Structure 1
Amino acid sequence: MAANDEDQQVKELVGRLTDKFPGVGAGVIADIVADFHRGFEGRPVRDFVPLLVERMATRKLDSTAR
């Protein structure tokens, strides 16, 4: 996956999570996603990074929304 494709998918992810968690600010969601995304820097296989970031961010947001 090209880096710009991954970046676009991560931007779309922030939008989806903002819609899914309207009570959480978009900036907070963007920070959470960025934190998880940074955890994959330097990893050679990039195809599933946006999916993994989405799962981790969703779990964190679900746990804080309770």
Structure 2
Amino acid sequence: MAIDAREKEAIRAVAERLADAYGATRTPEEIEAAITEAHASFTDRPVRDFVPVLVERKARAALGKNI
């Protein structure tokens, strides 16, 4: 399913928030990987409205492990 501009912008905002929150303990590559993995898990979902929120929650959980 194609990602619309609104979702792309929301995911960029998620990336900025996570970089602010985890930048001191995680590399930019680790943050990007967590976002990419979380986002990929919602690829086949037809309702896209809440995907950015769910991606942020899933990525935060992944980044919060093993600190």
Decide: shared fold, TM above 0.5: yes
Partner of residue 11, structure 2: 10
Q: Which runs of 5+ in 1 are unaligned?
A: none
> Secondary structure, in 3 states, of the residue corresponding to 1:27?
helix
Give the helix-richer structure, 1 or 2.
1
> TM-score, length-normalised on structure 1?
0.86
- Work out the number of aligned pairs and report it: 64
What code does the residue aligned with 1:62 have? Answer: G
What stretches of structure 1 move > 6 A for 4+ residues in a row?
A: none
Structure number with greater CO (CA < 8 Å, separation at least 6) is 2
Partner of residue 47, structure 1: 49
Give the alignment's Cα RMSD to 1 decimal.
Answer: 1.3
> TM-score, length-normalised on structure 2?
0.85
Q: Which runs of 5+ in 2 are unaligned?
A: none
